[in-house]
A and B are shown apart, each in its own frame.
Chain A
């Protein structure tokens, strides 16, 4: 049997993976490995970081140096690594809860400092691993395990947050656009400075069933697709029309000095 071309990057003793059928996080693993393969990423000088949550498991399945298992502290780990050994390439795989709820305080400072790290935010719009509780990204009025009458909170726009805080590469794509998502990751890997790639993904088990009344991965992807608009189209739309829509595209791409420490002489 012919070996899968990306199999060589996986860590066999960590498999099988624990993603549910139809999970978008597993797709992101695929997007990343394709991007890494196409850019010939030097895996001996690479660290992959995951916090806690479904997306945080992505680096666990790769045969790489990795840190895993603490909720929301991916950015501080990455900062310590990059400050001591700037030659290492560091990629964070974070869920939306990891990146913007418990780790939100760290995220804005990573953007501000422009640490030379790639952060892939796998945004499934919920706390998937813990059972589908409301996240800072859950759309307004949507049902979740902790918003049985509909979400009463306003969600974050992660890309706007990153842009405002000073990130130098910011893009958003969805799991139904694998090539765009992969290309954005490739671009982020080649970018010097803090790069945030948000990928909206389906969580059939805990977002789909609670918010969309479907446990079907396909139907969840269709819903994401139906609610996505390109940046170009979005420019011609009113803010009312854009409510609860996922605007897709590259929002920021600029150069700024990268962070080398708080006191440099």
Chain B
């Protein structure tokens, strides 16, 4: 067996961000990939086309993004751990299939490498598309990596969350990190946690396919297991029957959204840096947390009490951590690479407790450390 045949390439690597996504997926057990060419996500599908057949999985290049995302639904219901990767405009097309996957509770992982209006420049402009792009009511889980290591780690975690909550889970990648090479450490097999979807523990005649406690996803048998379930987008009752009944609809969508909301502690993660005695807090996600942290370190050396809250999960919004932070500091600065979309969320949660300023850049470039430092210094005046 050659090195390429192994799913888990344990060891230390110097790797491209897009390739780290592939390794994270394979480490999680991904055995189905479908995608349509789009820059700057191409290295994901190209590397998948090389790795997937050699590790026993399927690589499929759809005729468009719609085909790709629906192929994930089909494969996932047949038992696969399925993933696709795209970039902003392609992510638009996929929203239709994401809405279906939410309604039918189908696990899958979707990577969007955000880009600027058809050009491969740095941006975080899809942060709201992640949250609100799909039709119908939903709660999404969106993870925001900031490095090649985190692209690996968060892709792996995205599979685990998708399997656990039976829902699409998103990796919010960016041009910055996807096309960057950095050190990546892939753990040994024992150092990796793998979650697989729950299967029914009762025979088909006793199984009620969409019945679950209001904070959970029901078990999911695969096609061919003999359970004969109707997976419809239409409002369906616990048996899976298409039913228009306001009570049925309300109960279904309460559970579908609540299975995410009620498990906030399991899903939401943040990292804080030097926040214990901070007067000013920078709040950043994804690659913007890098200049934020670098600037905060320099500002601290200059005697400014500043720290950083890095949002590893951007959706659901880490409201508890943000609220707690807002009560402790004088000022929060939202550092973001778009016109200030997520800053509105930070303002919504924190604005009633402290002043919320915005450090925005929307010109296809990541903030420099100097720019963020200047904003921190400005905030002290």
Residues of A at under 8 Å CB distance from B? 11, 13-14, 43-45, 47, 59-60, 63-70, 73, 75-85, 87-88, 105-106, 109, 260-265
Q: Name the B residues within 8 Å of A87 (CB-CB).
A: 224
Task: Say yes or no: is B22 at the interface (Cβ < 8 Å to chain A).
Answer: no
Question: CA of A71 to CA of B77 in the docked complex: distance in angstroms?
Answer: 18
Identify which of A79, A80, A263 contacts B82 (C-beta below 8 A): A80
A67-B74, A84-B78, A261-B58 provided; 15 other pairs, C-beta below 8 A?
A44-B224, A65-B223, A69-B234, A76-B62, A79-B62, A80-B75, A83-B60, A83-B71, A84-B74, A85-B223, A109-B67, A260-B58, A262-B49, A262-B61, A263-B49
Q: Check A88 against B224 for contact (C-beta < 8 Å).
A: yes
Chain B residue at minimum C-beta to C-beta distance from A61:
B230
- Option from A60, A63, A84 in Cβ contact (under 8 Å) with B228: A63
Bin the interface of chain B by size: 35 or more
B241, A80: Cβ atoms closer than 8 Å = no
8 tightest A-B contacts by CB? A80-B74, A69-B233, A76-B70, A80-B71, A80-B75, A263-B49, A77-B74, A81-B74
Q: Closest Cβ of chain B: how far from A222's Cβ, in Å?
A: 33
Q: B59: CB under 8 A from chain A?
A: yes
Main SS class of interface, B = mixed
Also in contact, A65 and B227, with CB within 8 A (given A83-B58, A263-B52):
yes
Q: Which of B33-73 contact A (CB under 8 A)?
A: 34, 49-50, 52-54, 58-64, 66-73
A13 contacts which chain B residues (CB < 8 A)?
239, 241
A60 to B60, CA, bound (A): 28
Q: How far, in Å, is A110 (CB) from chain B's closest CB?
A: 9
A13-B239, A60-B242 as given contacts; A79 in contact with B230, CB under 8 Å: no
25 sampled A-B residue pairs with Cβ under 8 A: A11-B230, A14-B230, A43-B228, A59-B230, A64-B228, A65-B228, A68-B232, A68-B234, A70-B96, A70-B233, A73-B67, A73-B100, A78-B74, A79-B60, A79-B71, A81-B75, A81-B77, A83-B58, A84-B31, A84-B74, A84-B79, A88-B78, A105-B67, A261-B53, A265-B53
Q: Is the CB of A73 within 8 A of B232?
A: no
Answer yes or no: B229 CB below 8 A from chain A CBs. yes
- By CB atoms of chain B within 10 A, which of A14, A63, A263 has the most? A263
| Residues in B neighbouring A63, C-beta threshold 8 A | 228
Contact A14 B242 (CB under 8 A): yes
Q: Which residues of B contact A43 (CB under 8 A)?
A: 228
Is there an interface contact between A262 and B59, defined as CB atoms closer than 8 Å? yes
**B residues bordering A, Cβ < 8 Å?**
31-32, 34, 49-50, 52-54, 58-64, 66-80, 82, 96-97, 100, 103-104, 222-224, 226-234, 239, 241-242
A72, closest chain B residue (CB): B66
- The residue of chain A having its C-beta at the shortest distance from the C-beta of B82 within the complex is A80
Please determine whether A261 and B60 come into contact, CB atoms closer than 8 angstroms.
yes
Q: How far is the CA of A87 from the CA of B222 in the complex (A)?
A: 13
Q: How distant is A11 from chain B, measured CB to nearest CB, in Å? A: 7
Instruction: Check if A263 sits within 8 Å of B71, measured CB to CB.
Output: no
Q: Cβ of A68 and Cβ of B223 under 8 Å apart?
A: no
Minimal Cβ-Cβ distance residue in A for B61: A262
Q: How far is the CA of A84 from the CA of B74 in the complex (A)?
A: 9
B241 partner residues in chain A, CB cutoff 8 A:
11, 13-14
Contact assessment for A69 and B79 in the assembled complex, using a CB-CB cutoff below 8 Å? no
Q: B73, B227, B239: which contacts A77 (Cβ < 8 A)?
A: B73
A41 to chain B, nearest CB (A): 13
CA–CA, A67 and B242, complex, Å: 12
The answer to whether A84 and B80 touch across the interface, beta carbons within 8 angstroms, is yes
Contacts of B96 in A (CB 8 A): 70, 73
Q: Using Cβ atoms and an 8 Å threshold, which residues of chain B touch A69?
A: 100, 103, 232-234, 242
Chain A residues, Cβ within 8 Å of B231: 65-68
Contacts of A65 in B (CB 8 A): 223-224, 227-229, 231
Q: A66-B230, A263-B53 are in contact. Are A106 and B67 (CB under 8 A)?
A: yes
Distance in Å: Cβ of A264 to nearest Cβ of chain B: 6
B21 CB to closest chain A CB, in angstroms? Answer: 17
Q: B243: nearest residue on chain A (CB-CB)?
A: A13
With a 10 A CB-CB cut-off, give which of B53, B67, B74, B229 has the most chain A CB atoms.
B74
Q: Which of B31, B54, B70 has the most C-beta atoms of chain A within 10 angstroms of its own C-beta?
A: B70
Verify A84–B67 contact, CB threshold 8 A.
no
Q: How far is the CA of A80 from the CA of B57 in the complex (A)?
A: 12
C-alpha spacing A178/B24, complex, angstroms: 53
Give the residues in chain B near A88, CB-CB below 8 Å.
78, 223-224
Cβ contact of B223, chosen from A47, A105, A106, A263, cutoff 8 A:
A47
The smallest beta-carbon distance between B207 and chain A, in angstroms, is: 13
Task: Name which of B58, B69, B72 has the most chain A CB atoms within 10 A of its CB.
Answer: B58
Residue pair B64, A105 in contact (C-beta under 8 Å): yes
Bound Cα distance from A78 to B59, whole angstroms: 15
**In contact, B226 and A84 (Cβ under 8 angstroms):** no
Q: Which of A11, A64, A80 is in CB contact (< 8 Å) with B34?
A: A80
Pair B73/A67 contact, Cβ less than 8 Å: yes
* A68 to B73 Cα, complex, angstroms: 12
Who on chain B is nearest to A45 by CB?
Answer: B224
Closest to B50 in A: A263
Chain A nearest CB: distance from B365 CB in Å? 35
